[in-house]
Chain A
Amino acid sequence: MKLLRKLAVGFLVLVAGLSLAAGFVAPYDYARQFRDHSNAPPSHAFPLGTDDLGRDRLSRLLAGSRISLLCAPAAAMAATAIAAAIGMAAGYFGGWLDETATVLTDLFLSLPWLFVLLTLRALLPLNITPWASTAATFLLLAAVGWASGARVVRASVAEMRFAGSILHARACGCSGARLLCFHLLPNLRPVLSAQFWILVPVFLLTEANLGLLGLGITEPVPSLGNLLADLQNYQRIQEAPWMLTPALLLFLIVASLHFVVSGRDTWE
């Protein structure tokens, strides 16, 4: 298992490195249309072939990975921060704050995410650049994805607040804010870290689902999600198996993240 974890980390580092250097590594601009070479098979000029509009699949894959690999962790970070704030406040202060937070958490957990995202996406202003649309998509993911984390954090804090060290700090006159920031938060690091690593693949897959519905990141910006939309026509895959590369990459990223998460104790 240790070897697998090392391989997974190595793979993630490689993919992250390649996609961050997409501007230098990619043969072409991801949006450039070679209209006379649409649906070309892999060749020296187009190592992974071209799509329906003649855009280089490799360039789009590298750019798409960069967006997904930067935005999904950023959204996971934001969701974890929201989860920490709500969970800690609810667990520590209890009372009406806890009840309100619990109701809010239950509400968010019971919401059908996909439909909420579709609705929120439709309410956004139309005249925004593709980059702003990308940021908005992942911010929305963060805004609706914090609930499960908040519940775990709340339970941990509710248990910790009666720990000896915390009671001792309170007896010494330590304020609530100081207690939360300097005594409870450091103890929550393993919980928050786990939540973060769980959310990264979840957000990657949710963005992929939105992409399949044509509602994720807007053209011409690529993401792993909208690159997967090509695979809806599964009969075409037999003729052009190289189209599977984005799916394979997503699978390997999610699997690698799984190995990293399951081995997080080793890393901490």
Chain B
Amino acid sequence: MGIARTAFLLAGAMGAYAQSGGELRFCVRADPKTLDPLLAEEEVSETIRYLTGGVLIRLNRQTQRLEPELAASWKVANNARQIDFELRRNVHFSDGAPFGPADVVATIRRMMSPGLQSGIADSFRSAGGEVTARANGANGVSVFFSTPVAGLELLFDQVAISPARPAPPESAVLGPFQFAEHKSGQYVLLKRNLNYWKTGAGGKRLPNLDSIRLDIQANREIELLRYRRGELHLVDKMEPEAFERLSKEAPASVRNAGPSLDAEFLWFNQSPDAEFPAYKKRWFQSGLFRRAVSAAINRDDVIRLAYRGYAHGAAGPVSAANKLWFNARLSPPRFDPQVALKLLQQDGFRLEGNSLRDREGNAVEWSLITNAGSKPRAQIGTIVQEDLRKIGIRVNFLPLEFQSLIERITRTQQYEACLLGLTNLDIDPNSQMNVWMSSGTHHAWNPGESKPATAWEAQIDQLMELQHTSVDQAARKRAFDRIQEIVSEEQPIIYLVHPDVLVAVSPSVRDALPSPLPPHLYWNIENVSLAAPAPGRKD
């Protein structure tokens, strides 16, 4: 009798928290600019693409391994110039029409057509030049690249397949949800795709949720307030201060997913076209000078004061979140003002009173710009300013309006040093070709070099080419490890920290597994479910 009663009570309790459909709610910052998955470039459109689009291959954000989705299997052939997909059978679009090779071919063709100007196509073009697709039997598709492309499978993680027949891209999708409604400035509503192919435990059709409502809210404080009132289930990319406050109130609902792929860094302008005195160019082109500046910055204080402890010191462009490409042999430069002064002395600088002077007697003073409105960046700038003052360097720190900043660092080159961050969405170094190749337009310290300005830049160019074309994963890893080591030795970009991914997940959300890789919170959305709240309880 005792056992029977216990079982009954347990069943009752399970009933109170039983998995239900329900509506998951979270905020996005703005209206989506497009619902066409091939044109999605900004965060909100990409969110909708991820939630509604079906892809051939998906990167598991937890294991960082590629998993089959619409493609049951794939094979890279012809020295990484070709990939052959075997498509999953009995898959249907959300409108009930069957999915087949023609849809994949049409999607690739449409994506690559110059008239569409798809950002995703740019990553395909930069990886492998001309890209074509051909159906290969009843369930096969082959995609051809004009040059060998290392890690080409990963490119398909962002290509949502649309139907070959003429139809608005949002009307027939293969992902777990489909677009239902958009009220400008208010919300985007996504409804469950009843024809979604994936099944869960016990053959239950996925996704578990009935709908997702993306509330449009730019104000992070209001977003947090609504979360605390139980109106939202998820909060992504929280500010450290808000995270700390919420962790005191509801420790069970906050999660630190660890260091992100993003990095905060500063660099000196080494462009020959820069309009500042030649002696400053000599400072900035000196590896000893850059290493000295790097050693004089207290990264631990940056982490503690600007990020309240929710960041990790950065040794280079790749954080520990990127399991495949992180170089574990590197560690962040140790804070040591004495080492910094020694390096500067080796380079001909001398300390006169409180002022550092170069060989010619010029006082070492430079301006550091950043974008206005970012509190952590403003604090990092002030910390850098104070740390460098202690070794006699005067830094004039100046936050600028964003457009003006971008104009200076990309076009006019009218700046001396810049403090900025980079949001990384991709784990593969191929996405960073434009940054590390000396001819790259995003080669921050000296964009678009006609030929490598230094021997170490020439070496980086060779290694980037090697990792870009090699099909041997181990060789690619060795090449990119060496690139990270050169960057760490030469410090063309002085990496400071990798901020942590801080999120809030309502206790009523089941199976959300926050990941340091974007999208941090809903990468496994088809498995996420909501527990029915107990009577009278508000999450």
Contacts and interface: CB of A to CB of B under 8 A. Distances in A.
B499 to A, nearest CB: 15
B372 interface: yes
A219 B385 contact: yes
Given A127-B276, A235-B221, 14 more contacts: A33-B386, A52-B306, A53-B379, A53-B383, A119-B404, A122-B400, A127-B366, A128-B367, A130-B396, A215-B372, A220-B382, A220-B386, A235-B225, A239-B245
Given A122-B401, A233-B241, A219 B378 contact: yes
The 4 closest A-B pairs by CB, nearest first: A122-B404, A214-B372, A126-B367, A127-B367
B98 interface: no
A233 B308 CA distance: 15
Nearest to A234: B221
Nearest to B403: A122
> Counting chain A CB atoms within 10 Å of each CB, which of B245, B365, B398, B415 scores highest?
B398
Interface string B340-381: 000000000000000000000000011101001110001101
Contacts, number: 78
- Is chain A's binding surface mostly helix, strand, loop or mixed? loop
Contact of A218 (B221, B366, B397, B414): B397
Q: How large is the interface on A (under 10, 10 to 19, 20 to 34, 35 or more residues)?
A: 20 to 34
Interface in A28-58: 31, 33, 35, 38, 52-54
B379 A52 contact: yes
Interface string B408-433: 00000011100000000000000000
Contacts of A239: 245
A214 B399 contact: yes
B16 interface: no
Interface in A166-221: 213-215, 218-220
A218 B398 contact: yes
A215 B383 CA distance: 18
B305 interface: yes
A59 interface: no
A38 B241 CA distance: 13
Given A219-B385, A235-B224, A126 B396 contact: yes
Interface in A209-247: 213-215, 218-220, 233-236, 239
A53 B305 contact: yes
A100 to B, nearest CB: 31
Contact of B396 (A53, A127, A213, A234): A127
B301 interface: yes
A165 interface: no
Given A126-B414, A215-B401, A236-B241, A35 B305 contact: yes
A53 to B, nearest CB: 6
Contacts of A54: 305
B306 to A, nearest CB: 8
Interface string A96-138: 0000000000000000000000110110001111100100000
A233 B221 contact: yes
Contacts of B415: 126
A128 B401 contact: no
Contacts of A121: 400-401
B408 to A, nearest CB: 8
B396 A218 contact: yes
B386 A118 contact: no
A213 B401 CA distance: 9
A219 B397 contact: yes
